[in-house]
Amino acid sequence: MHASRRMLDTPGVEAAMAAMASDLNLRMLRDSGLWEPALEGAGQDELILAARGTDPEAAIGAAEAALTERAAPASAGPEAASRTVRTAAGRLRGANLALISVPGQHAVWSCWDALAAGLNVLCFSDNVSLDDELRLKHEALRRGLLFMGPDCGTAILDGVGLGFSNVVPRGPVGIVGASGTGIQQLSCLLAHQGVGISQAIGVGGRDLSPEIGGLMTREAIRRLEEDPETEVIIVVSKPARARLQARKPLFEALLAPGIDLTEVALRVGGGSLPAEPEPLGWEGPVHGIFSGGTLRDEAALIWGPDPRFSAIDYGADEFTRGRPHPMIDNSLRLDAIRRAEGLVYLDVVLGRGAHPDPAAELAPALEGRPALVALIGVEADPQRLSRQRAAFEAAGARVYLSNSRAARSLVGGGRP
């Protein structure tokens, strides 16, 4: 991202891209007119710097300088950076958790290294095989450790946010999530009712699949049952089937027709949410351009098979190979907005780890066209909910705090 921006800031540059040579990125190079025959044999572990304009060499030089600057701190200081998780754990006394965020083909080895060092693991990396996930989770349970992931983007442990998380208050509700954006939507909707979170434990999007069998979901529930700060437990997941039990009150937010996260949050919180905008009354095509898989699935379940709706999760594995997640880098979704015809439906997720000012890039792209934004966040987030909302509304977008209410406002022209 940093190298791409440096190239685009170079005078005379019309288009530029710094990315790993994944299939998706190679297609984007073709589509943007940056393709060169020499790229035909590029391997997925190779970095591509490409620029078009009056002085592409200067742009490439700017990118190389940016990459050199970012690499410099790793060798600074009196001792060299650790090259393995186990080595780092030996240097950091009292460490009890490792956050793994490397390309999927390298993540498995790092996760085994972390477990061997006695560390709980949050594996942000995706593109990890089901077989590897199953083996890692069995090993974690054997050692009495948590294995959150793979593809786990969110956790809040003892008030400390990991990955993508919102700055929500502490409280009595524990969340177990096979969905990062599901955890974020629920925790924010509870916060809007004045209800806080004790713990939010991500388990990875496939944990409730038949292959994994809910290994970490059940372990997380067990831990929340023993947590004196937790009075109520919510389990959130993309569509899944599971038989879950707990001694404490347990609410399941397993997405299915007629079930949405807002209804569950209201049942648990017992309060009310801020008023949402009046329906737009739109009956034309709707292009759902999502960064969160659960938010995409929730909207798609509400919209059903109606052909005027499309819903794409740009945070899915095929879009994140060799490039940052769309909650960090807006470029893929900006391109989708430019290509969309009809109403643009956008989820924007705030909080730690996310883009520092998503509205600064996304709101201008929505000007002059029908748009609806499901804005997931709270005022204490670094991006400030009110500031983001004002920017999107100034661009003419309708802004909702509830994804399901936003999606329902477009069904039947928005009429009750």
Q: Lowest-confidence range among 154-158, 367-371, 409-413?
A: 409-413
175-198 pLDDT, tens per residue?
999 999 999 999 999 999 999 999
Token look-up 């593809």 returns 151
Does residue 59 lie within any of the structural domains?
A: yes
- pLDDT at position 414, please? 53
Task: Please tell me which of 73-77, 172-176, 329-333 the model is most confident about, judged by mean pLDDT.
Answer: 172-176
Least confident window among 7-11, 113-117, 304-308, 411-415: 411-415
CA dist 47 and 322 (Å) reads 9
Domain limits at 36?
Answer: 2-74
Domain count, the chain: 4
Q: Of 74, 96, 123, at which residue does a domain stop?
A: 74
127: which 2 tokens? Answer: 């593109």
Q: What is the pLDDT of residue 292?
A: 93
Q: Is the model more confident about 8 or about 272?
A: 272
Strand, coil or helix: what is 104? helix
**Domain end call among 150, 168, 198:** 150
- Answer yes or no: is 247 within a domain: yes
Same domain, 102 and 205: no
Distance CA 205, CA 153 (A): 10
pLDDT reading at 358 higher than 70: yes
Last residue of a domain, one of 209, 243, 273: 273
Q: CA 299, 301, 307, 313: dihedral to nearest 10 degrees?
A: 50
Query: What's the chain's average pLDDT?
Result: 91
Q: Are residues 353 and 261 in the same domain?
A: no
More confidently predicted of 149 and 240 = 149
pLDDT for the residue 242: 77
Q: Which segments of 272-382 are extended strands (E)? A: 286-290, 309-313, 343-349, 371-376
Question: What pTM did the predictor assign?
Answer: 0.85
81 part of a folded domain = no
Residue 292 and residue 398 share a domain: yes
The model's pLDDT over 21-38, given as tens digits with 9 standing for 90+, comes to 777 677 767 766 777 887
Q: Are residues 410 and 296 in the same domain?
A: yes
pLDDT single digits (tens) 85-133: 988 988 998 999 999 998 888 899 999 999 999 999 999 998 899 999 9
Do 387 and 410 belong together in one domain? yes
- What's the order of all strands across the beta sheet hosting 97-100? 97-100, 120-123, 147-148
Answer yes or no: do 184 and 230 share one domain: yes
Same-domain status, 160 and 264:
yes
Q: Is residue 352 in some structural domain?
A: yes
Residues 157, 145: one domain? no
- Looking at 54-169, which runs of residues are DSSP E strands? 97-100, 120-123, 147-148, 154-157, 160-163
Query: How far apart are alpha carbons 29 and 50 in whole angstroms?
Result: 8
Q: Is 351 exposed, middle or buried (0-12, 13-18, 19+ CB in 10 A)?
A: buried
Q: With contact defined as beta carbons under 8 Å apart, do 96 and 146 qualify?
A: no
pLDDT digits 0-9 by tens, 229-284: 999 999 999 877 778 999 999 999 998 888 899 999 999 999 999 999 999 999 99
69 pLDDT band (50/70/90 cuts)? confident
Residues whose CB falls within 8 Å of the CB of residue 249, separated by 6 or more in sequence, listed in order: 231, 232, 233
CATH of the domain at 346: 3.40.50.261
Place of tokens 């190298």: 3
Is the per-residue pLDDT at 415 higher than 50?
no
Indicate if 313 and 379 belong to the same structural domain: yes
Does one domain contain both 67 and 94? no
Give the model's pLDDT for residue 240: 76
Within-domain flag for 280: no
Phi first, then psi: give them for residue 208, nearest 5 degrees.
Answer: -90, 10
* pLDDT beyond 50 at 416: no
pLDDT bucket at 77, cuts 50 / 70 / 90:
low
Share of the chain above pLDDT 70, in %: 95
Beta bridge partners of 174: 199, 233
Predicted local confidence at residue 299, as pLDDT: 97
**Are residue 179 and residue 140 in the same domain, yes or no?**
no
Strand partners, 253: 236
Q: Is residue 407 located within the same domain as residue 291?
A: yes
The answer to the question of residue 55 being in a domain is: yes
